[in-house]
Amino acid sequence: MNDFDLRVLKNCEKHKMVSKGDKVLIGVSGGPDSMALLHFFSESPLQLNVEAVHVDHGLRESSAADATYVEAYCRTHHIPFHLLHADVKGKIEETGKGVQEAAREVRYAYFDQLMKETGAAVMMIGQHADDQVETILFRLMRGTSIRGAAGIQPVRSLAHGKVARPFLAVTKNEIEQYCEQHDLKPRRDPTNESDTYTRNRLRRHVIPLLKKENPQIHEAFERFSEELSEDNEWLEKQAENALEDVCVLKSRELFHLSVEKFRSYGLPLQRRMIQLILNYLYAKVPTSLSSAHTRAILDLLKQAHPSGDIHLPEFMTVTRSYGNGYFHFQRETETDPYCYLIDQEQLIDLPSGEKLEMRAGEIVPDKPYRDLYYVSESFMPLTVRSRRDGDKMRLPDGKGSKKIKDVFIEKKVPVRLRHQYPVVTAADGRVLWLPGLRKAPSDGKSAAYTLIYY
């Protein structure tokens, strides 16, 4: 076994990419990197069950010939073959995204779908050490976080498995030599020789200069990537703990934090808390979101002026209202009024993304919750609804009542969130509870039920 083989297998072992006998999908474009990857793991001592995956993006005249080439190779070597004719142009028209981003989304969606269908544990991609250098340089030029500056991760999760990159341990030149040694005749993408794209210019002009200064530049970048990844992993865990402390309320559509507590943490944790919140709220974080947005959010939460807004891509808004910070989605139209009868043991999904549940007896739930309200039988049946003009709540000790509108102002709930805030009422229409904000006085009778706000 030569040095190339040992380094690739050691990389697999180090990052727990595969186990002996695993079913593995390999993305094969027909180029040198992917053909070497397919050949290597088809012949490796790991005895993997290898299947090839090719995506024809339909963007080049030679794309059909690439698909034919890969399919023929797989047929000759008895390797199961999967082919997708992708409608990348349709994706671009639908989403307005760039060619490379749209193609990547289509490709990875197909990879994930195939992993689910085939039961494969791993999807392997042929990115190598030179790709790592290129990616780190590219991201640093654009401006990125520490996570981004760490470059390509050897392993990352998909919904139905993981993506692994065993060739990050070897260089482009070593892969070309591997192809020659094993008489592989890969396809060549002519667009790689063009200077149209920034990445191509880095690959063709900048990286050769770096290699001239330091022939082992890829090893230096690998160490840089690993150390940054390790530092970032530790900081992320600290940020997760900090985020639990600053969180006042969260749902799938809203994250409410204490500005005072947020400001008590150092800047590195503040930045990461913002990223964690955005990752939580966005189903898929927009590529247009950048470090400039993070800086703007930090300025908003730390400024002397007590209020303001920052608008982010895809209708996300960050609102500062005195001591409260809100990350929320600003839709084009407000939520329609709603009204639900609260039944025992029924979990109600509220329009704002929160959940409400009623259980018999006076209990404390064994899972995380945001607020509780104990209620007697005399108030039944209960209703949860959106607020209405003129809504009021009784104050403690018979001190009269207060308008719900004034409670929202007092608690500094942003105007745009008030229309969907849940209001729990008794059978006679009295407002009993604004979850997380205020409770009306009890009637002095024993609690028959517990309302739980998640």
Q: Is 29 annotated as a binding residue?
A: yes
Q: Which amino acid is at 65?
A: A
Contacts of residue 175, Cβ cutoff 8 Å, sequence gap at least 6:
32, 33, 36, 126, 128, 167
33 is in an annotated binding site: yes
Q: Is 27 annotated as a binding residue?
A: no
Q: Is 376 assigned a ligand-binding role in the annotation?
A: no
Q: Helix (H, G, I), strand (E, B), or coil: what is residue 379? A: helix
Kindly report the CA angle at 445 between 442 and 449, in degrees rounded to 5?
Answer: 80
Q: Cβ–Cβ contacts within 10 Å for residue 182, how many? A: 12
Alpha-carbon distance of 96 to 90, in angstroms, equals 10
Q: Which contacts qualify for 150-156: CB closer than 8 Å, 24 or more apart?
A: 150/225, 150/228, 150/229, 150/232, 151/221, 151/225, 152/127, 152/225, 153/229, 154/11, 154/14, 154/15, 154/17, 155/15, 155/16, 155/17
Q: Answer yes or no: is 34 a known binding residue.
A: yes
Is 309 marked as a binding-site residue?
Answer: no
66/27 Cα distance (integer angstroms): 13
Q: Tokens for 434, please give them.
A: 């604004």
**3-state SS class at 16:** coil
Please choose, from the candidates 379, 372, 385, the residue with its C-alpha nearest in 3D space to the C-alpha of residue 423.
385
Binding site membership for ATP: which residues? 29-34
Binding site membership: which residues? 29-34
